[in-house]
Structure 1
């Protein structure tokens, strides 16, 4: 009992709950005691006093549980929103990189067309092939960057799934 009294001193919510519990209990006891002293039957009004007290206690418990659940859901939504923002940025980066790859491919295509149009000039062909090699190397680097960003995006999605699963598991306990 001493531990409970100390906890009430430290926690304002617990102290408020304890005070309302004492007030309600005293009211119910006094109503029931008055009926017993007078050898009377309980009137509807006196039963309502007891009923309202029990209802109020039940509402307090329900409200606390509701607040906890709401806070957990808000945390989940904020976490998922953060992950979603990261994914949106990663997808935008991937889109930009894919557009860049299209430009590189167009450049390769133009160089190949140039080489095919100038079959007779060996020096022009060699220069065009060197340019194509350089562009293909850039293309390879850009493909690697797209792959890395795609992997990062997939990791964010996997993390979001884990967060949702953890939330579901916690809710079922």
Structure 2
């Protein structure tokens, strides 16, 4: 009978998609892979944090992951029809953009402050050279007007002291703002994920209800069809009744299948939205790790410079020859480490800035592409 065929089709369509759990199998695969790689990255960075040794390789690994994830996000937006017509999702993508821009601005500030640190380093090198020259100078004017030793060295050290800490309030305030923006973005992402999941559960319940209602209706009319066939009525009336019931039965069954398809397509649309949201969450987490890594390197640089500035203060305050000599020997031993950290921060910031800028451009192109297709 027609009823049995349509009922079987409706139930099979419902149960097959229900077993899969999601209409986008790539979504689960992406989420699992992303989580594994992100956890591995966190472990490596955590190990570096314990020893205060964030290698450039770790930074490159982090940035490589960020570039790849931004490319995936761009592909996800391009491959999803009308994905940015959803206002909530569109505003979230815009917020992700704003957060990436602020992260990039922070890295630019770090770069600017590092240039100041380089200038301090050059002055310190000049002071060391001056100290070496003055240490070899034995002519202090004889019995005439006595020339004080290390005067020119102290002049250079005063310049270093005047420059102070290159990472002042501007960097600290910017870092605070970026972190607040990143956390707010993660919160918004979580809220949208919860909302999408709730819609998916509601759709699943509705599809289940549709399957039950249309199946019950089809079976009811199937029973009527059977009753008509065995009823003691004239043959012409039987044929007419069977035709009417069968036609109605077919309409009910077909309607059920169509409604099920519409709901299933809506579920797929929600899966695609969730895919974009998941990718943004992954990218934001990598941005946060990048910010934390750069900040740790900056703190290392500040600590290295503060040790030198402490020595400079001692020399400037206590201008005695022996005191200046001891302090300069201390500075000479510390300056190599200072130069190394400057180089680390410089390279890490350049790498991270390139990656964040590249990611923004990648997603920007995809959004422009979607806009042209509308």
Calculate the TM-score normalised by the size of structure 2.
Answer: 0.30
Summarize the Cα distance change of 1:52–1:141 in structure 2 as closer, same or farther, 3 Å threshold.
Answer: farther
1:137 to 311, 322, 336: 336
Q: Which stretch of the first structure deviates more once superposed, 82-91 or 49-58?
A: 49-58
User: Runs of 5+ in structure 2 lacking a partner?
Assistant: 1-11, 17-217, 226-235
Alignment of 1:45-84 (within 5 A): 52-84=252-284
The residue number in structure 2 matching 1:159 is: 359
The residue number in structure 2 matching 1:5 is: none
Alignment of 1:13-162 (within 5 A): 52-121=252-321, 124-154=323-353, 155-156=355-356, 158-159=358-359, 162=362
Work out the number of aligned pairs and report it. Answer: 144
Higher relative contact order (CA 8 A, sep 6+): 2
User: Runs of 5+ in structure 1 lacking a partner?
Assistant: 1-11, 17-23
What do you get for the CA RMSD once the two structures are aligned? 4.6
* Structure 1 CA distance for aligned equivalents of residues 369 and 268 of structure 2: 16
**For residues 57-104 of structure 1, what are the alpha-carbon distances to aligned partners after superposition, in whole Å with 9 as ceiling and x for unaligned?**
432332332233233233323322222222222211222222222222
* Structure 1 CA distance for aligned equivalents of residues 364 and 276 of structure 2: 7
Summarize the Cα distance change of 1:67–1:113 in structure 2 as closer, same or farther, 3 Å threshold.
Answer: same
Calculate the TM-score normalised by the size of structure 1.
Answer: 0.55
* Structure 2 CA distance for aligned equivalents of residues 65 and 167 of structure 1: 23
Q: Alignment partner of 1:137: what SS?
A: helix
* Structure 2 CA distance for aligned equivalents of residues 161 and 66 of structure 1: 30
